[in-house]
C-alpha cells in the first residue's frame, strides 16, 4: 500500500495527464488507445521509466481485439490496424528524436510470430513461425538496415536468418544487459536471460 500511495503522490503521476500537451501533437498521435499509449510512453520515458509496453489491440473495424490476429479478412483488418499504428508510431519516433530521447531509448516493434504468406480460405492469414518481421530503432541500434530476407514466396528465410535468441541478445546489448547472465529461480535453477 505504501508503494502505491507513494506512486500516486509522486510527480511522475503527472505523466498520465495530457492537458499540457499541445493539441496539434495529441492529434498527430491520434485519439485511439494505441495513439494515447504512444504519447504516454514518451511522457514515461521523459520521467525515466525503464520499460514500457504499448499494445495495439481493440482497433475499430478490425473485427477482434487481438491486434494482428487476422485469420479472416486480412486486407481490410491490416489496413485498419495500419491507420492507427502508422501515425502514432511515427509520431512517437519523431517526438522522442526532437526531444533528444531517441538515442537513449530502444524501440522494439514486433509480434510473437509472423503470418502465413498465402491467404487462407477465409481471406485471412494464419500463424507462421517460420519467418516474420521485427523493427529495432533508437538507442544502440544502427539504423537504415535490413537484416535477412525471405524466399520470393515468403515461405522460408533465404538470407541471414536471425533466431529468437540472437534477436533477444541484440535487444539486451542495446539495453546494456548481459544476455548470458543468469537469474536463479525459486527452486534454485539457473535461467539465462537469453536462453
Task: Give helix 33-46 / helix 74-98 axis angle, nearest 10°.
Answer: 20
- Prediction pTM value: 0.86
Q: What is the largest CA-CA distance in the chain?
A: 57
Give the ranges where the chain is alpha helix by DSSP (H): 2-9, 23-29, 33-46, 74-98, 164-175
Place of cell 491507420: 83
Question: First CA to last CA across the chain, in angstroms?
Answer: 35
The answer to whether 54 and 46 are in contact (CB under 8 A) is no
Cβ neighbors of 152 (< 8 A, separation 6 or more) are none
Handedness of CA 19, 20, 22, 25 (dihedral sign): negative
Q: Read off the pLDDT of residues 111-155 as tens digits, 9 standing for 90 and up.
A: 888 999 999 999 999 999 999 899 999 998 988 999 999 999 999
* Amino acid 64: pLDDT: 60
Whether residue 65 has pLDDT greater than 90: no
Here the cell at position 158 is 533465404
Report the mean per-residue pLDDT for the chain: 91
Whether residue 80 has pLDDT greater than 80: yes
Average pLDDT of the segment spanning 60-65: 61
| CA trace torsion 116, 122, 124, 128 (10° rounding) | -30
- Other beta carbons within 10 angstroms of residue 170's beta carbon come to 20
Q: Read off the pLDDT of residues 92-111 as tens digits, 9 standing for 90 and up.
A: 999 999 999 999 999 999 98
Amino acid at each position: 500500500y505504501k508503494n502505491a500511495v507513494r506512486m500516486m503522490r509522486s510527480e511522475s503521476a503527472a505523466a498520465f495527464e495530457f492537458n499540457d500537451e499541445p493539441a496539434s501533437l495529441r492529434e498527430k498521435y491520434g485519439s485511439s488507445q494505441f495513439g494515447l499509449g504512444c504519447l504516454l510512453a514518451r511522457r514515461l520515458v521523459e520521467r525515466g521509466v525503464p520499460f514500457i509496453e504499448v499494445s495495439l489491440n481493440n482497433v475499430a473495424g478490425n473485427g477482434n481485439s487481438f491486434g494482428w490476429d487476422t485469420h479472416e479478412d486480412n486486407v481490410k483488418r491490416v489496413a485498419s490496424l495500419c491507420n492507427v499504428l502508422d501515425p502514432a508510431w511515427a509520431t512517437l519516433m519523431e517526438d522522442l528524436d526532437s526531444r533528444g530521447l531517441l538515442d537513449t531509448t530502444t524501440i522494439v516493434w514486433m509480434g510473437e510470430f509472423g503470418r502465413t504468406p498465402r491467404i487462407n480460405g477465409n481471406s485471412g492469414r494464419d500463424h507462421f513461425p517460420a519467418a516474420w518481421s521485427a523493427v529495432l530503432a533508437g538507442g544502440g541500434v544502427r539504423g537504415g538496415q535490413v537484416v535477412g530476407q525471405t524466399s520470393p514466396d515468403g515461405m522460408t528465410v533465404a538470407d541471414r536468418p536471425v533466431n529468437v535468441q540472437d534477436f533477444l541478445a541484440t535487444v539486451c546489448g542495446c539495453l546494456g544487459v548481459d544476455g548470458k547472465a543468469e537469474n536463479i529461480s525459486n527452486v534454485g535453477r539457473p535461467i539465462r536471460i537469453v536462453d
